[in-house]
Amino acid sequence: MAERFNAPACDVTKGVACFSGFDCVILRGLPGSGKSTLAAHLASSHGYLHLEADQHFVVNGAYRFDPSRVADAHAVVARDAFAALQADRRVVIANTHVRLWEMAALIGAARLAGRSFAFVECAADWGNIHGVPVAALDGMRARWEALPAEFDLISFRFPA
């Protein structure tokens, strides 16, 4: 993974206070980095609507990834984020977002709705719950794109 974190690391003593004031929090990181856990915390403790593509792969309580549905799942997340932001709801979106274009629709949704947004690069290592093969993880690391400098002031690494 590209190691470019010019943005402030979130001081863990402050918890999520670094970024919980934003209307749209876009979480990114490799599987097992804590995205879903952090999103669930923001939803339960701070009132965010928790969205992620993985939610569309749960069938009868079991996770069943289908690569043919990935684009649709991300499109639904972007649509739902935009609708929520327009309705004055705060949203947290947890996806790997390995490449920058994968976040473009979410950035556009926040900007179009006139709402603030921030990025959080999750950096924990909890092991991935979806059994993503090591080769796939290595591929994600190799494709990882750092956020451009224009987003430094609204980008955080968590935990620091």
pLDDT digits 0-9 by tens, 89-131? 999 999 999 999 999 999 999 999 999 999 999 988 877 777 8
Structure tokens, 111? 């900007």
Q: What is the CATH number of the domain that holds 52?
A: 3.40.50.300
Residue 150 domain-assigned (yes or no): yes
Residue 136 domain-assigned (yes or no): yes
Residue 131 domain-assigned (yes or no): yes
pLDDT in tens, 14-66: 667 788 889 999 999 999 999 999 999 999 999 999 999 888 888 898 888 88
pLDDT attached to residue 106:
96
- Please state the pTM of the whole predicted model: 0.86
Residue 13 domain-assigned (yes or no): no
Q: How far apart are the first and last CA of the chain?
A: 16
Burial class (CB in 10 A: 0-12, 13-18, 19+), 40: middle
Residue 12 domain-assigned (yes or no): no
Q: How many domains does the chain have?
A: 1
Which range marks the domain in which residue 124 is found?
28-158
Residue 140 domain-assigned (yes or no): yes
